[in-house]
Amino acid sequence: MRFETAGGPHIPAPITVHQVMRDVLLALVPGILAHLWFFGPGILFQLALAIGAALGFEALMLKLRGARLDLHLHDLTAPVTGALYALCLPPLMPWWAAIIGMFFAIVIAKHLYGGLGNNLFNPAMVGFVVVIVAFPNISTTWVPAQSLAENPLNLIDSFKVIFFGTLPDGLTWDAITGATPLDLIRTRISEGIMLTEIRTDEIFGKYGGKGFEWVSIGYLVGGLYLLYRKVITWHVPVAMLGTVAVLTLPAYAMDPYNNPFPLQHILTGGMVLGAFFIATDPVSGSTTPRGRLIFGLGVAILTLSIRRWGAYPDGVAFSVLLMNCAVPLIDRYTKPRVFGRE
Amino acid sequence: MSGILAFGVLALVLGLVLGLLAQRLRGGDEDQEVVDQIDQLLPQTQCGQCGYPGCRPYAEAIAAGEADINRCPPGGEAGVRALADLLAVEPKPLDPDCGEPAPPMVAVIDETICIGCRLCIQACPVDAILGAPKRMHTVIEAECTGCELCVEPCPVDCISMVEPTPNPQTWRYRKDRLKVRVENRTTA
Amino acid sequence: MDAQLGERLWRFHGGVRLPHEKPMSLAADPEFAGVPPVLVVPLRQHRGDAAEPVVRVGETVNRGQLIGEAHPGRITARVHAPATGVVTAIERREVIHPSGLPELCVEIETRAGGTDEDLPPLDWQTCDRQALIDRIWEAGIVGLGGAVFPTHIKVDPPPETPVDLLIVNGAECEPYIAADETLMRHRPKDVIRGALMVARATGAARTVVAVEDQMGAVEHILRKTERDLGAEDLQIVKVPTIYPEGGERQLIRVLTGKEVPSGGLPLDVGLLSINVGTAVAAYHAVEHGRPLISRMVTVTGRGIRQPGNFEALIGTPVSYLIERAGGYDDDIRKLVMGGPMMGVPLPHDDLPIMKATNALLGLVDYEVTRKAPELPCIRCMACERVCPAQLLPQQLLWYTQQGDFEQVEAHALFDCIECGCCAFACPSQIPLVDYYRYAKSEIRARAVERARAAHARHRHEVREERLEREQERRARRLQKKREKLRDRKAKQAEIQAAIQRSKARRKSGEESDDAL
């Protein structure tokens, strides 16, 4: 009788990449629901567009590279890239933004660097950065939760806006779009207006932007689920959000009129999404426990710097990409102590 | 004007520093050391396939810039890469004129045919053949480098090259299977 | 110190929780597997050098007779005939080893009758330490937990590193394997006495028996036996079941909080650990004079019809033992020597049971089928989280795939214990351990090759020197000859001249003939 002789362990690993990525997609659901509630059905089109484009480009590139389509399309990494990208965009972004973003994310950032597991940079963030650098006004054309409450756009309206750029009768772009809270803070503070006064604007909620804070809390819930499922470790979120709190609290205490409350920093922009879903990307992140702490710390400091002094209202995407560059160096100097060694 | 002057001076100073450093780092005494380092990377089969009478002479020729680094089939592509690495030059494919890389072999004398002529003993570069005139000879497997230099001189054609007896020390774990995976990885 | 031991347990980094699967083979009481018609006894069943055969083909051997003698000063162990019979062959045969390389084996055709050649029993409580150690050597005892290191060396620590604590390792952490648990359940007296005896042999100040918390009644049984035997100074500590708890270094960490230095021995921190089975075998060697000719083997898994634990003679064919366990299930796909994590897969069952064979595990189709095809590493570090050696398995994989073995070594590959936790945690389903084993064998083979190359270089240089010397000598000889020749010519010229002169004289004296 002959037996199979593959090496051990002889019982296979119980988890797969597919399951890990499914967990990530699942963890995005609370955030997406909050998004849907506050910013209308646009996000559904953005998700569909980005995931569709991601899968399309993934299939194309796999075919060009002669790899197995079934294997790699099944691993769900492309849909995760697409979903994270879509969640960074304003919900009424025109349809071609998803195509351009995903082209850069999947084709350039992922496959030209060697495909799954080999990309140096977070693909979703590469796509997003390309789009906001190329079309800088998109960050000011968000749809504020408050204006939507007055002029709700239904599914069909959103579809028309995204695909044809036509607005429902009686509405103007100005009526339904506006600056994001972070953008508003930037411009107003530079005009010398006190933060307390800025915050009286109706686009602000209790801590962050109206709606945005709930979306962030949704991501937080999803992030805790990922921690529970051991898909991510605590290092990056704790380091990132902890650094934000530690750095912004003294600033707020010293000058509350010009420096936002820490929770405002955390609950606006992409901070929570970044902390749990983006900076925790295994492929482009650090691979040592201490390295992940440094990675999170770096992303937080860079993000705060960009928010405070940079040309863009939010900086999570830039910060993540910058820290991606530093990963080989971080990994090199943060090797953990081996058991039984000094 | 002052800019041009400043950069001119800078260029001069830096050029001087670089030149001096280059002088220091390329000392004349280190030639021997380079030969040693090259020799360390050669497989020491002493087979002469490179066209030199042994590994050391080949190392000297490489160090002197007279020979290319791709003339050693027993060292294989890995050997060429190691040499390229050491000498900071581009690796290149093995020179087919020198022979094909082959798995390491050892010589075996068919002792029923051997006439004891001593010709193989004279040919062996590492004294791995034992024997006396008119007595049959034998190869000490542990000492044989597989250079094949003994095969040709034998007048009765009693020497053949065989695969060495496998032993746990030189056995490689599932190399064949994993290599396939590594290659898949580069295309997948 | 004694009171503290076991009160506080430490944790080791990583590890995985695995299904227990042990009750499967524990349902029935252990049995003697019987004497098979033919035994094939390998002469290297232990770490180190093979034993030398001391019997000849055709010779009749008795049960317990020495058939493989070992060199006392080396790392090696003796081998004995497991049953009475006739030696029918001494040749290289395939044995259980990942390499599949053949080893010298003694084949014995067993037959009934004959006498036992046991060693004279010793009283372990009164005889001196050296006698115990000598007996362990004579009986060919080796570590039965898997490493098969010769026990006589282990229990004889050098005087500068005395044993503070002896750990008798009953934490059999791999799923399915229950050979040690069987001994503790059914022969608790032998376990306790064995532990005390080994403690005496090593001169250990304290002794602890470690059992797993999932072993249920085992702890109770041992405690009761301990009381019955009046051996209260022996401690029994329950440790949490988390793989690879039974690894020597991990168990030491859990019990004492100490880390055995990388590349060092437990002795470096005053510890010695020995497997339960080894302690029992050593005890039998002393108390009954029985050499190590049989061991407890768990035959289990869903691929085996009637799992159980068997006392099997060394050299018993695997197929024979499987028959004793009811044969194979139809769905069996893999047969493993050892556990599902670290076991050696067997290509077929025509192989002999060895001293290291703690279990035969039959795994069926659905148990061994991968959940998904292998994907590239996504650097998720699930492997890092479970690695008990605190390595970076992902980096090791990367550098192994690149063939950068310098970096592989710099990332402490040789601290890897090949426990398989990383591969078990990998969502990309990468057989990481295969890569590490390959890298280790490659690095070792390269070191051997380098040594060979250095050796060849040396021999070549010596030869060149000799040739040069010979040439010089020949040249000198030639020179001398030439000189001599010249000398001779000169001499001859002189002689000729003298002859000429005398001739001339003679000629002048008398009219000579031309005959001269």
Residues of A in contact with B187 (CB under 8 A): 65-67
- Report d(CA C287, CA C196) in Å as an integer: 13
Mean pLDDT, rounded, for B119-128: 88
B186 Cα to chain A: minimum distance (Å)? 8
Quote the mean pLDDT of chain A. Answer: 88
B188: nearest CA partner in chain A: A67
Tens digit of each residue's pLDDT (9 = 90 or more) over C434-466: 999 999 988 888 888 888 889 888 988 898 899
Q: Tell me, yes or no, if A20 comes closer than 8 A to chain C by beta carbon.
A: yes
Secondary structure of C9-72 as H, E, C letters: CCCCCCCECCCCCCHHHHCCCCEECCCCCEEEEECCCCCCECCEECCCCCCEECECCEEEECCC
Here the tokens at position C473 are 């000598």
- Report d(CA A227, CA A221) in Å as an integer: 10
Mean pLDDT, rounded, for B82-93: 85
- Report d(CA C493, CA B146) in Å as an integer: 57
Top pLDDT among A76 and C508 is at A76
* Single-letter amino acid code for the residue at A211: G
Is the backbone peptide bond immediately before A9 cis, with ω within 30 degrees of 0? yes
Do residue A115 and residue B188 have CB atoms under 8 angstroms apart?
A: yes
Here the tokens at position B182 are 């590594």
- Report d(CA A77, CA A16) in Å as an integer: 12
Pick from A3, A19, A289: CB nearest C427: A19
Please check the confidence at residue C516 and state whether its pLDDT lies above 50. no
Q: Identify the pLDDT of residue B178.
A: 63
Contact present, C154 and C272 (Cβ < 8 Å): yes
Contact present, A158 and A36 (Cβ < 8 Å): no
- Report d(CA A311, CA A129) in Å as an integer: 13
Mean pLDDT, rounded, for A69-96: 90
Looking at A103-257, list the stretches that DSSP marks H as alpha helix, in order from N- to C-terminal side: 123-134, 145-150, 155-164, 173-176, 181-190, 195-198, 212-228, 235-254
> pLDDT-derived band of residue B179, with 50, 70 and 90 as boundaries?
very low
Residues of A in contact with B183 (CB under 8 A): none
Q: Identify the pLDDT of residue B175.
A: 65
Q: Given phi > 0 = left and psi -120 to 50 = alpha, else beta, which region is C270? A: left
Instruction: Report DSSP state, residue C348.
Output: B
* Single-letter amino acid code for the residue at A51: I
Do residue C349 and residue A17 have CB atoms under 8 angstroms apart?
A: no
Do residue C438 and residue B172 have CB atoms under 8 angstroms apart?
A: yes
- Report d(CA C437, CA C397) in Å as an integer: 11
- Report d(CA C170, CA C151) in Å as an integer: 17
Q: Identify the pLDDT of residue A146.
A: 61
Please check the confidence at residue A239 and state whether its pLDDT lies above 90. yes
B127 Cα to chain A: minimum distance (Å)? 41
Question: Chain A to chain C, count of Cβ pairs less than 8 Å apart?
Answer: 176
Tens digit of each residue's pLDDT (9 = 90 or more) over A89-144: 888 888 998 999 999 999 999 999 988 989 999 999 999 999 988 887 765 667 77
Predicted structure pTM score: 0.85
Residues of A in contact with B188 (CB under 8 A): 65, 67-68, 72, 115
C380: nearest CA partner in chain A: A282
So what's the ipTM on this one? Answer: 0.88
Residues of B in contact with A115 (CB under 8 A): 188
